[in-house]
Every structure is written in structure tokens, then in C-alpha cells.
């Protein structure tokens, strides 16, 4: 599960006030997609979603249109709406964009005042410790979740809402491809070493180095993933 998502029990949807129903339905379907419960290529059955959530099909259709605008689902004429997966070219584009975003976030975070920067570095070190535990247990899914949390902590600390919104969209699309490989070792040892170097540069307030390491780390992650999918 991605770090900015929270589960909302289906039976609570009708009880939530002041939030558009279509948004609640969208968030529920988004969580199902990102958990892999609606895998790439699967047709999304509107009546089933509506019945499960206890709503009409109108907010389900609205939610699907919004998800289509994000590129997470695709509508096919006379066939329905399907969970989509980025192709190889789009995947490369997304990683290039994520490298720019992570680099910018690292630069912003490394420029924080010392108290905030040290607190963030401490949190990143704790995250790295959890990654090492996951690596020792060969628990790739746990490692992957902690990896996402590490990067999201830096993005949040950057304090730029446009960056955070764009980053979420990019990582959600990448997540659909990563789900297929969560049972495989994605170079965790090398990745952990890269995270250690990033956390150290941030703790030191080395703006240029932190930006460079963040961007390079994403590029190296793409190379590792390409080796699994190629």
C-alpha cells in the first residue's frame, strides 16, 4: 500500500458527510487497484462495485471517469473500463519524471533548517533500519512499502503541494508495474546503500549531493526494474 493512502471501510461510505460520493468511490477503487485487488488488464464491473459499496452506478461512473483522467484505467468502446499498465516507453518516461521530482524534493529537503532536517534524517534512518530487517527476512513487499515511505517523507518535507500531487500521480502509475515484481529481489542490497547515502547527505545539509543522489537512485532503480521485466 502506498504511504498516502488510508483504507475506508466500504460500509462507512454512506455515513460520510461533506465529501462527494464519487470521490469516496474513487478513493476506494484506487486503493483496490494499488493493492493489486484489481490487477492490470482486469475489467472493472460497475454493478459489482456499486453493490459492494451500497451506492448507485452514477458515482461509480463518475469515479471511473476521474480514474481514467489519471491514466490508471482505460475505457474501451463496447468493452468496458479496464485497469491499465504503462507500456515500456511510458514506464521509461515516468521514471525520468520521477528522477526529476525526487531530485527536486531532495534539494528542497536538504535546505531545511537544522532542527527539521535532523528530525527528517532521523526518520529516514529509522526507515532504513526497517528496510534492512525486510532485506534480512527476504520480505520484498515489506521492503518496497518502506522504500515508498522513505521517499514520500522527503517529498512531504519539501513542502511543495504541486510537487506532492504530481509525485503521487507518477508513483501510482509506476506502482501498477511494480506489483508484478514484488515477489522478486529488486536489488535490495544496492538500494539500501543508496538510501543510506541519501540520508547522510540530507543530514549534512549537502544540497547538491542530496539532489544528485536522489535523481541517480531513481535512475538506478529503473535499470534494476528493467532487468526484471526485459
Residue 120 makes CB contacts below 8 A (sequence gap 6+) with 109, 112, 153, 154, 157, 202
pLDDT of residue 181: 61
pLDDT of residue 4: 72
Burial of 183 (0-12, 13-18, 19+ CB in 10 A): exposed
pLDDT digits (tens, 9 = 90+) for 84-141: 988 889 999 999 999 999 999 999 999 999 999 999 999 999 999 999 999 999 888 8
Burial of 23 (0-12, 13-18, 19+ CB in 10 A): middle
Q: One fold for both 10-83 and 88-229?
A: no
End-to-end distance of the chain based on CA atoms, in angstroms? Answer: 25
pLDDT of residue 140: 86
Q: What is the residue-level pLDDT of the chain in tens, covering all 230 positions?
A: 678 775 555 554 555 555 788 888 999 999 888 888 888 899 999 999 999 999 999 999 999 999 999 889 999 988 999 999 888 899 999 999 999 999 999 999 999 999 999 999 999 999 999 999 999 998 888 898 899 999 999 999 999 999 999 999 999 988 887 776 666 666 889 999 999 999 999 999 999 999 999 999 999 988 887 775 54
Topology (CATH level 3) of domain 10-83: Arc Repressor Mutant, subunit A (1.10.10)
pLDDT of residue 186: 66
Q: Cell 452506478 belongs to which residue?
A: 57
What CATH code would you report for 88-229?
1.20.120.530
So where are the chain's domains?
A: 10-83, 88-229
Whole-model pTM over 0.85: no
Amino acid at each position: 500500500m502506498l504511504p498516502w493512502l488510508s483504507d475506508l471501510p466500504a460500509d462507512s461510505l454512506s455515513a460520510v458527510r461533506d465529501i462527494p460520493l464519487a470521490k469516496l468511490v474513487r478513493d476506494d477503487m484506487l486503493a483496490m487497484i494499488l493493492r493489486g485487488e484489481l490487477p492490470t488488464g482486469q475489467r472493472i464491473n460497475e454493478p459489482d462495485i456499486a453493490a459492494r459499496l451500497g451506492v448507485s452506478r452514477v458515482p461509480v461512473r463518475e469515479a471511473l471517469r476521474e480514474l481514467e483522467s489519471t491514466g490508471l484505467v482505460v475505457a474501451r468502446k463496447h468493452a468496458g473500463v479496464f485497469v491499465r499498465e504503462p507500456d515500456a516507453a511510458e514506464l521509461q518516461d515516468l521514471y525520468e519524471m520521477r528522477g526529476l521530482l525526487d531530485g527536486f524534493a531532495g534539494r528542497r529537503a536538504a535546505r531545511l533548517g537544522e532542527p527539521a532536517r535532523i528530525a527528517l534524517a532521523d526518520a529516514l534512518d529509522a526507515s532504513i533500519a526497517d528496510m534492512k530487517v525486510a532485506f534480512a527476512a527476504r520480505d520484498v513487499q515489506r521492503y518496497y512499502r518502506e522504500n515508498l515511505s522513505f521517499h514520500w517523507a522527503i517529498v512531504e518535507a519539501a513542502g511543495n503541494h504541486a510537487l506532492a500531487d504530481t509525485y503521487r500521480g507518477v508513483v501510482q502509475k509506476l506502482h501498477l508495474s511494480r506489483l508484478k515484481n514484488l515477489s522478486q529481489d529488486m536489488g535490495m542490497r544496492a538500494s539500501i546503500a543508496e538510501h543510506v547515502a541519501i540520508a547522510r547527505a540530507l543530514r549534512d545539509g549537502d544540497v547538491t549531493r542530496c539532489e544528485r543522489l536522489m535523481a541517480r537512485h531513481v535512475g538506478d532503480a529503473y535499470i534494476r526494474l528493467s532487468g526484471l521485466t526485459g
